Amino acid sequence: MKRFRNVRLYVPGLFIAILLFTALFSEFLTPLDPMEMREDHTLQPPGKGFVLGTDEFGRDILSRIIVGSTLTMLVSGGAVAVGTISGTLLGLVAGYYGGIVDAIIMRACDVILCFPSILLATFIVAFWGSSIINLILVLGLLQFPRNCRVTYSMTLYTKNMEFVEAARADGASRLRIVLRHVLPNIMAPIIVQVSLGLGSTILTESGLSFLGLGPPPTVVTWGRMIMQSMRFMRLSPLVVVWPALVISLTVLSFNLLGDALRDTMDPRLRK
C-alpha cells in the first residue's frame, strides 16, 4: 500500500516537474518557430521534421504546445496564488473571530459558489475584458471560496485545541495565536487544496480560451489551439487530440498529486 501511494505521488509529481521546466524554458525548447506558417506543410501527420505534425496553417504543433504551457502555468499559478492567499486569510479571520465577520465572509463564499464556475467566469471576463491580469483575477475569485471554506473549517477545529488554549492563557495576542499556532497546523489541507485548485483552474482557463474569452489571439494557449483547429478534425484529428491530451494529462496529474498529498499528510492513513 505504501509503495502504491509513493507511485501516486512521484509519477504525477515528475510529470508536473517536467511541465514546469518546459514552461520556464519554453523559448529554448521549441524545435521550430511556433508562429511560422508553412503553406506547403498544412495538416501534416507526425514525422517529416514535425514530431506531432502541423496545424491548418502549417505551424508546428509541438512548438505551440510547449509555448502554450508558459501561459497556462502563469495564469493557473497566479490565480491559485490569489485564491489561496485571500481565502486563507479571510478563512482564518472568519473561523477565529466568528460573529458578524464570520457571517459576512461565509455568505460571500456561498454566493460565489451558487453560480457554475465556467458561467461566472464567462460573464465576468466578457464584462471586464480578456487580458491576462483580468483572467488571473477572475480565476482567483473562483478559487477563493473553496480555500476559504477549507481554512474556516480547520480553524474552527484547531482554535479550541489544548495548545491554543495554553497560548491564550499565557497572554499571547490573537494575531500571534493565529499566525504561530493555528496557521502552521492547518497547512496540510491548504497545500492539498492548492494542488487540486491548479487542475481545476487549468481546465477553466482552457474552456475560456476555447470560447474565445481567454488571452488575446496573438497568445498561444492550449484551449485556443483546440478552438482554431476543431474545424479540421475530419481531415486531421490529431490537431485537436494533441492539445486536448496535454490538458487532460496535466489536470489528471494535479488531481492525483492532490489525492496523494492528502493521503500522505493525513496521520490516520499513514499506517
Query: Who contacts 168 (Cβ-Cβ below 8 Å, separation ≥6)?
Result: 177
181 DSSP assignment: I
Specify if 186 maps to a domain.
Answer: yes
104 falls within a domain: yes
> What's 148's domain CATH number?
1.10.3720.10
For residue 141, give the C-alpha cell.
475569485
Locate 245 and state its grid cell.
491530451
Residue 167 covered by a domain: yes
Q: Which SS3 state, helix, strand or coil, does residue 6 take?
A: helix
How far is 186 from 188, CA to CA, in rounded Å? Answer: 6
User: Would 162 be classed as within a structural domain?
Assistant: yes
Residue 150 in domain: yes
Element (H, E) at 161: none
Domain count, the chain: 1
Bridge partners for 50 per DSSP: 47
Give 246's contacts (C-beta < 8 A, 6+ positions apart): 65, 69, 222
- Residues contacting residue 162 through CB under 8 Å, at least 6 positions apart: none
Q: pLDDT digit of tens for each residue in the chain (271 aa)? A: 555 556 777 888 899 999 999 999 988 888 888 888 888 888 888 887 888 888 888 899 999 999 999 988 999 999 999 999 999 999 999 988 888 988 999 999 998 888 888 888 888 888 887 788 888 999 999 999 999 999 999 898 888 888 888 888 887 788 888 888 888 888 888 888 898 889 889 988 888 888 888 787 788 889 888 888 888 888 888 899 999 999 999 999 998 888 888 777 665 555 5
Quote the CA–CA distance of 249 and 126 in Å, as a whole number.
28
Q: How many helical (H) and strand (E) elements, i.e. helices and strands, does the chain have? A: 11, 0
In a domain, residue 40? The reply is no
Q: Can you give the pTM of this predicted structure?
A: 0.87
User: Domain range for residue 221?
Assistant: 2-23+61-269
Instruction: Give a yes or no: residue 74 inside a domain.
Output: yes
Q: Answer yes or no: is 19 within a domain.
A: yes
Copy the grid coordinates of residue 54: 502541423
- What is the end-to-end Cα distance of the chain in Å, rounded? 9
